[in-house]
A and B are shown apart, each in its own frame.
Chain A
Amino acid sequence: DSGVTQTPKHLITATGQRVTLRCSPRSGDLSVYWYQQSLDQGLQFLIQYYNGEERAKGNILERFSAQQFPDLHSELNLSSLELGDSALYFCASSVAPAGPYEQYFGPGTRLTVT
């Protein structure tokens, strides 16, 4: 158990809908990272938050947004869902900014868009 929790574990929804994925980081970790993993794309970095502020953006679509709350939990919002958004979504946390930047991953949310 990494100490990172993600809910829900599975999510099935229809195209055009909006969903929210939730992540609670390990106790003491200030940074949260979101990743998307599909079979043909590997682990793709989406976005990073540090202590409530956005720090880095990766290949995140405009239909997706995220935020980190004062209690450090984070939410990833996916809207106008398309079939291609079906994937595993992982949240990770780390103590950053200090190195060596080890990340601890949650169990993931499997999103299926039908």
Chain B
Amino acid sequence: TQLLEQSPQFLSIQEGENLTVYCNSSSVFSSLQWYRQEPGEGPVLLVTVVTGGEVKKLKRLTFQFGDARKDSSLHITAAQPGDTGLYLCAGPNAGGTSYGKLTFGQGTILTVHP
């Protein structure tokens, strides 16, 4: 069973601070995705990383896929209250007929205080 562990579980910071969220596994993933979810809403896809060592930027968010494709990180620069939410990493299960089924990490709840 492929598992994804996210850390930290909770993050409470002041506006303007930088932060990093980690997503780790002992398994290799063909790709990893990051989602952001606001209370009462569905998760929204932020980015997909596919190549080991890949770095993708989305405004103040920087996503990195580990060289061995077992881990990923999300770095937010100068966090804003609008970044508040639940951040989830997810990766597709390998093999079998359940293609497309994703394993999700437990999530990181980020609160950015003004």
Which chain A residues have a beta carbon within 8 Å of chain B's beta carbons? 2, 4, 31, 33, 42-43, 45, 48, 50, 55-56, 58, 88, 90, 92, 94, 96-97, 99-108, 110
Contact = CB atoms under 8 A, between A and B. Distances in A.
Contact of B102 (A90, A97, A101, A110): A101
Contacts of B90: 103
Specify the main secondary structure of chain B where it touches its partner: loop
23 contacts: A31-B100, A33-B102, A42-B104, A43-B43, A48-B100, A48-B101, A50-B100, A55-B97, A55-B98, A55-B100, A90-B43, A94-B100, A99-B31, A99-B92, A100-B30, A100-B92, A101-B31, A101-B99, A101-B102, A105-B35, A107-B41, A107-B42, A108-B40
A103 B102 contact: yes
A2 B42 contact: yes
Contacts, number: 77
Interface residues of B, number: 26
Interface of B: 30-31, 33, 35, 40-45, 48, 50, 88, 90, 92-93, 96-102, 104, 106-107
A43 B50 CA distance: 23
